Structure 1
Amino acid sequence: MTIFNNSVLKLDKRTFKTINLALPLVIISSLSMLGCTEDSQARTTPLATQPSSPLAYSYGVRPFYLINDMDESPLKEELMACKAQVPSKTNFSIAHRGAPLQLPEHTYDSYVASAQMGAGILECDVAFTNDGELVCRHAQDDLHTTTNILATPLAKQCTVPPIIDANGVLTNADSIECRTSDISANEFKTLTGKMDAANKKATSIDEYMNATAPWRTDLYSQNGKVLTLKEHIALARQLGMKHTPELKAPAVTMPFNGYRLDDYRQQLIETYKAAGVPANDVFAQSFNIEDLDYWIKNEPAYGANAVYLIDDSNETAENKTFDKDDATTWKHSLADIKARGINIIAPALWLLVTTDDNGKMIPSAYAKQAKANDLKIITWSIERSGPLANGGDWYYSGLGEAINNDGDMMNYIDVLAQDVGVQGIFSDWPATVSYYANCKGLK
Structure 2
Amino acid sequence: MRSFIASSVFLGLAYAAAVPVEASVVPRGSHGHKKLNVQVGVRPYYLVDDMDESPLKEKLESCSEQKFKTSDFVFAHRGAPLEFPEHTLQSYRAAHRQGAGVIECDVAFTKDKQLVCRHAQCDLHFTTNILNTTLASKCTTPFTPFNGTAPATAKCCTSDITLAEFETLCGKMEGFNPNATTPLKYMDGTPYFRTNLYAQGCPKLMTVDSYIPLVDSWDLKFTAELKTPEVKMPFNGYTQKQYAQDLVNKFYEHGINPSRVFLQSFLPDDIFYWIDNEPKFGKQAVYLDERVDTPAGYANATASIPGLAKRGVKIMAPAFFALTKLNDAGKIVPSEYAIACQKAGLDIVAWSFERSGWLQIGGGGYYYDYVKNVLNNDGDMYTVLDVLAQQVKVKAMFSDWPATVTYYANCFGL
Q: Tell me how far apart the structure 2 counterparts of residues 295 and 312 of structure 1 sit (CA, whole Å).
A: 21
Describe the shift of the 1:263–1:64 C-alpha distance in structure 2 as closer, same or farther (beyond 3 A). Answer: same
Q: Tell me how far apart the structure 2 counterparts of residues 275 and 170 of structure 1 sit (CA, whole Å).
A: 51
What code does the residue aligned with 1:350 have? F
Q: Tell me how far apart the structure 2 counterparts of residues 63 and 75 of structure 1 sit (CA, whole Å).
A: 14
Q: Superposition pairs for residues 289-328 of structure 1, below 5 Å?
A: 289-312=268-291, 321-323=296-298, 327=299
Tell me which stretches of 4 or more aligned residues in structure 1 moved more than 6 Å: 49-52, 169-172
Retained in 1: the 8 A contact 2:302–2:340? no
Give the SS at the match of 2:137: helix
Retained in 1: the 8 A contact 2:364–2:372? no
What code does the residue aligned with 1:213 have? P
Retained in 2: the 8 A contact 1:304–1:342? yes
Which residue number in structure 1 is paired with residue 188 of structure 2?
210
Q: Tell me how far apart the structure 1 counterparts of residues 150 and 129 of structure 2 sit (CA, whole Å).
A: 17
Q: Superposition pairs for residues 141-180 of structure 1, below 5 Å?
A: 141-163=122-144, 174-180=152-158
Structure 1 vs Structure 2: percent identity of aligned residues? 48
What code does the residue aligned with 1:88 have? K
1:398-426 per-residue CA deviation (whole Å, 9 max, x = no partner) reads: 21332111000000110000010101000
Which residue number in structure 1 is paired with residue 347 of structure 2?
376
Which residue number in structure 2 is paired with residue 139 of structure 1?
120
Choose from 50, 53, 69 the match for 1:72. Answer: 53
What code does the residue aligned with 1:356 have? N
Cα distance, 1:205 vs. partner? 1.2
Choose from 373, 398, 404 the match for 1:401. Answer: 373
Retained in 2: the 8 A contact 1:160–1:177? yes
1:162-219 per-residue CA deviation (whole Å, 9 max, x = no partner) reads: 2479xxx899854310000000111101101001101122111121011111221000
Gapped regions of structure 1 (runs ≥ 5): 1-13, 15-38
Choose from 53, 58, 62 the match for 2:39. Answer: 58
Q: Tell me how far apart the structure 1 counterparts of residues 145 and 405 of structure 2 sit (CA, whole Å).
A: 45
Choose from 423, 427, 430 the match for 2:395. Answer: 423
Describe the shift of the 1:131–1:67 C-alpha distance in structure 2 as closer, same or farther (beyond 3 A). Answer: same
1:359 aligns with 2:330: yes
Give the SS at the match of 1:284: strand
RMSD over aligned Cα, in angstroms?
A: 2.1
Describe the shift of the 1:164–1:92 C-alpha distance in structure 2 as closer, same or farther (beyond 3 A). Answer: closer
Q: Superposition pairs for residues 196-345 of structure 1, below 5 Å?
A: 196-222=174-200, 223-312=202-291, 321-323=296-298, 327=299, 329-330=300-301, 333-345=304-316
Q: Tell me how far apart the structure 1 counterparts of residues 290 and 388 of structure 2 sit (CA, whole Å).
A: 16
What code does the residue aligned with 2:240 have? L
Q: Tell me how far apart the structure 1 counterparts of residues 360 and 100 of structure 2 sit (CA, whole Å).
A: 27
1:317-370 per-residue CA deviation (whole Å, 9 max, x = no partner) reads: xxx6344xxx4x437511011011011111110110001122110000110010
Cα distance, 1:103 vs. partner? 0.7
Cα distance, 1:240 vs. partner? 2.2
Which residue number in structure 2 is paired with residue 181 of structure 1?
159
Q: Tell me how far apart the structure 2 counterparts of residues 47 and 198 of structure 1 sit (CA, whole Å).
A: 28
Give the SS at the match of 1:199: coil
Q: Tell me how far apart the structure 2 counterparts of residues 44 and 170 of structure 1 sit (CA, whole Å).
A: 42
Describe the shift of the 1:366–1:49 C-alpha distance in structure 2 as closer, same or farther (beyond 3 A). Answer: closer
Retained in 2: the 8 A contact 1:170–1:203? no
Retained in 1: the 8 A contact 2:25–2:89? no
Retained in 1: the 8 A contact 2:399–2:405? yes
Which residue number in structure 2 is paired with residue 437 of structure 1?
409
Which residue number in structure 2 is paired with residue 193 of structure 1?
171
Q: Tell me how far apart the structure 2 counterparts of residues 208 and 51 of structure 1 sit (CA, whole Å).
A: 33
What code does the residue aligned with 1:200 have? P
Give the SS at the match of 2:360: coil
What code does the residue aligned with 2:296 have? T
Give the SS at the match of 2:154: coil
Cα distance, 1:241 vs. partner? 1.4
1:385 aligns with 2:356: yes
Which residue number in structure 2 is paired with residue 26 of structure 1?
none
Describe the shift of the 1:51–1:95 C-alpha distance in structure 2 as closer, same or farther (beyond 3 A). Answer: closer
Give the SS at the match of 1:216: coil
Retained in 1: the 8 A contact 2:106–2:118? yes
What code does the residue aligned with 2:317 have? A
Retained in 1: the 8 A contact 2:287–2:316? yes
Q: Tell me how far apart the structure 2 counterparts of residues 352 and 321 of structure 1 sit (CA, whole Å).
A: 16
Normalised to the residue count of structure 1, the TM-score between the two structures is 0.85
Q: Tell me how far apart the structure 1 counterparts of residues 144 and 394 of structure 2 sit (CA, whole Å).
A: 47
What code does the residue aligned with 1:420 have? V
Which residue number in structure 1 is paired with residue 63 of structure 2?
82
